[in-house]
A and B are shown apart, each in its own frame.
Chain A
Amino acid sequence: MKARQSDRFATIMLWVGAIAIVALLVAFLGLILGRGLHYLTPEFFNGPDGVRGQLFNSFYLLALSLAFSLPVGLGAGIYLAEYAPKNKLTDLIRLSTESLATVPSIVFGLFGMIVFVNKLGLGFTILGGSATLALLNLPILVRVTEESLRAVPRSYREASLALGATMWQTLRKVILPTALPGLITGVTLVAGRALGETAILIFTAGMNVSRKLFDVNPFAAGETLAVHLFAAKSNPLPGTNADQIADGTAALLIIMVIVFNLCLTLPSRWLQYRLLGKNKE
């Protein structure tokens, strides 16, 4: 039976492919952690070439960019999911959101460079970097918001509206709490991506780090961990232990990614439990 044989052969090949994909990931993680994990000592953070400034900048830029993009992204997502009529304008909004999602990050970087660094004359600043980073976050936030709101059953809305609630009351008290776990997953996704972003930040936030610890001045230049790894690997300064710094930074970045991925599932389940009671599935 030829068909039976080719079926078995194909099944084996697909298993091999799948195992190759997982093996690739394991090799990746093993390699990075194996090379860098032992450099992650207190001195790696606090020493003369320490990365505590970069680590702080990574999260500071992330927080600022979310502060810029969350209100707008949520608003646009809510509009598309709940209000938007089927017309040309809605189509246009959808098309431009989708286009924004495919814009290469280097193009965002150069756009931020024109607007914030040159036209507004800010130079390389944390403010300009996080505002540009917010543009990268926006389309994902819009999509995730729309998807999680659409996943809320229609009957919830109908019940609330039938009780005489306005659309805003329905949104605030019924739809958003139900959609919250999905929204949190989305925000975590965005945060993970923004933490590792480099191409945008070398053109807007620069490659310098403040000497002060926890410098919250938004007009200072702010090198992040990912940019630091790039700098250490692509144009290492002579006389520094750039390779060690690169190995340690890569391991630190990977650990951050793994932690973020773990955070993706756990808190959203807990929240759903808290907000909606245990008998909700």
Chain B
Amino acid sequence: MPHRKTWVYFNDRLSRYLFISSAVLVSLIILCIIWFVGMQGLSTFRQVSVLEFFTSSKWSPDSGQFGALTFIVGSIGTTLIAILLGGPLGLAGAVFLAEIAPPWVRAIMRPATDLFAGIPSVVYGYVGLTVIVGFIRKSTNSSTGYGVLAAGIVLAIMILPTVISLSEEAIRSLPGTYKEASLALGATRWQTIRRVLVPAASPGILTAVILAMARAIGETMAVQMVIGNSPRFPGSLVSPTSTLTSNIVMEMGNTPFGSTWNNALFLMSFILLMIALVLIILVRTAVRRGAVR
């Protein structure tokens, strides 16, 4: 049946082309995003000097002052606090899951961390607003409780699942011989973890931390709800301020599309995009270095 045969080969070729074109389409999207958001954002610099945008903390668009330093510092500050709090706890959880947990504990803890990852970010913000902000207000005598500290704590919880699952995977994927050799030399379990397993898995753990940073710096809703949303440079960890993301959410609705103010907000999101892309390149080098070793 020659007719049927050509049909079969036609289908085979057609499906192949469809798969290739969808792969190319996916790769074009990121270029489109960089192009559109970048063009919109960078047109800010027609009216605002680069130096002012990055080094001034005076943000009052009504009088033509576009200094975004406050937001940049806010974003970096909240991310650092999140990594400092959530990183060690997540790593401890990962080591525990990979090396110590009995099977039944693992069977509970794995789905539990997955559940963490599934909770919507507004719900994190809601909990932050109803519990953490009030707690900080009472325990630090600050006037509101909003600020970098509250946002950092909420983010620390949000990045836990990323840190835990990726680090655990990194530790588990090590060859069993590493552990056996160390134990056979008489090392205790803790010595094996600290001197052998964690150093050997460090490229994977680094990847986990970098991806967690990417998630934290781009997080919007949860941060917006607990940061206080005041465009002032934070005097302390518990005074209201803003981040790049929270300020975009606050002001985007009030600004006409195409105005300098509006473009400045797009520029902020372009900065976030660039940070995310740099982090991805860091991840790639971390993975490659791990492969070489």
Contacts of B15 in A (CB 8 A): 167-168, 171
Q: A22-B112, A199-B220 are in contact. Are A167 and B123 (CB under 8 A)?
A: no
A261 to B238, CA, bound (A): 36
Known contacts: A6-B190, A111-B37. The answer to whether A106 contacts B123 by CB under 8 A is: no
Please indicate the chain B residues that have their CB under 8 angstroms from the CB of A229 in the complex: 122-123, 126
Any chain B CB within 8 A of the CB of A241? no
Interface positions of A (Cβ within 8 A of B):
3-4, 6-7, 9-11, 13-15, 17-18, 20-22, 24-25, 28, 31-32, 35, 71-76, 78-80, 82-84, 92-93, 95-100, 102-108, 110-111, 113-115, 118, 135, 138-139, 142, 166-169, 171, 192-193, 195-199, 202-203, 226-227, 229-230, 233-234, 246, 250, 253-254, 257-258, 260-261, 264
Q: How many whole Å from B255's CB to the nearest CB in chain A? A: 12
Task: Check A99 against B96 for contact (C-beta < 8 Å).
Answer: no
CB distance from A190 to the nearest CB of B (A): 11
Q: How far is the CA of A191 from the CA of B37 in the complex (A)?
A: 26
Q: Is the CB–CB distance between A97 and B26 below 8 Å?
A: yes
- Chain A contacts of B118 at CB under 8 A? 192-193, 196, 257, 260-261
Q: Which of B108-165 contact A (CB under 8 A)?
A: 108-109, 111-116, 118-123, 125-127, 129-131, 157, 160, 164
Inter-chain contact A169/B27, CB cutoff 8 Å: no
Q: Verify if B291 is at the interface (C-beta below 8 Å from A).
A: no
- With A11-B100, A96-B27, A106-B269 known as contacts, the answer to whether A111 contacts B36 (CB < 8 A) is yes
Chain B residues within 8 Å of A199, by CB: 121, 220-221, 245, 249
Q: Given contacts A9-B190, A32-B123, A98-B284, could you give 16 more A-B pairs where the C-beta distance is less than 8 Å?
A: A3-B188, A21-B112, A21-B160, A22-B108, A35-B130, A75-B18, A104-B273, A107-B218, A107-B270, A107-B272, A110-B248, A110-B252, A135-B33, A138-B29, A168-B15, A254-B119
Interface secondary structure of A, over-half rule: helix
The interface size of chain B toward A, counting residues with CB under 8 Å, comes to 89
A-contact bits for B268-279, CB 8 A (1 contact / 0 none): 011011001101
- In the assembly, what is the distance between CA of A32 and CA of B119, in Å? 11
Which residue of the partner chain B has the closest CB to A104?
B218
> A83 to B89, Cβ gap below 8 A?
no
Q: Which residue of B lies closest to A200 (CB)?
A: B220
Interface 9-residue window, one of B5-13, B44-52, B62-70, B172-180 = B5-13
Name 26 A/B residue pairs within 8 A (Cβ), A-sorted. A6-B190, A7-B188, A18-B92, A18-B100, A21-B89, A95-B280, A96-B26, A96-B30, A98-B283, A98-B284, A100-B26, A100-B29, A102-B218, A102-B277, A102-B279, A104-B217, A107-B272, A110-B37, A110-B248, A115-B36, A138-B26, A168-B16, A198-B221, A234-B225, A246-B126, A250-B122
